Amino acid sequence: MRKIKNVLFLCSGNTSRSPAAEYIAKWLKETKYKAELKDVIFDSAGLYSYYKTPREGTANYLKSKNIDFGDFEGKQITADLITKQDLILGFEEKWHIRKLKRRFKNLKELENKTFLLLDFAEISKDNIEIPDPINFEPDEYKRTLERVEEGVTKALLKIIEINKKS
């Protein structure tokens, strides 16, 4: 894999998992991996985007970690946004990866740069999807975002390794 400079987190509506992943990645870059990730840009989008702000559960989770997400504005995935990315990380195979590839079937580069977050992070071979927490109780919503954080943390370490070799 070539050097990774642009990473996009993709979920359904860009209100729960993907904004959490984007801002956790930015926070880890600033607090732990500033030198290693200095040239890497993190972003997020949704296959659909109806709202411009993160859901309350996501906002509460990020606030509990003192992660600033004040400049977040939800957006929908576009061909231009895809083309700019070196790596696209989704959370569900059927709802994110397959739909993305079907919607943008003319973009051949999608095949080699689109992965499930937990698969790319090499966390598990069995349970590699992170479900949408939209209707979850607060404790389950929090546990979902903890899985997102674990995946992002390990994905960043993998990106650092890939970039060292490139």
Q: What is the 3-state secondary structure (H, E, C) of 100-163?
A: HHHHCCCCCCHHHHEEEHHHHCCCCCCCCCCCCCCCCCHHHHHHHHHHHHHHHHHHHHHHHHHH
Indicate whether 127 pLDDT > 90: no
- Residue holding tokens 């989770």? 61
Domains of the chain, start order:
6-165 (3.40.50.2300)
How many other CB atoms are there within 10 angstroms of residue 87's CB atom? 22
Q: Measured between alpha carbons, how far is 156 from 166 in angstroms, rounded to an integer?
A: 15
Of the listed ranges 21-25, 128-132, 144-148, the least confidently predicted one is 128-132
- Mean pLDDT over each residue of the chain, to the nearest integer: 94
For the whole model, what pTM was predicted?
0.95
Banded model confidence at residue 99, pLDDT cuts 50, 70, 90: very high
What is the four-CA torsion angle of 104, 40, 16, 53, rounded to 10 degrees?
Answer: -100
Mapping DSSP to helix (H, G, I), strand (E, B) and coil, where does residue 99 land?
helix
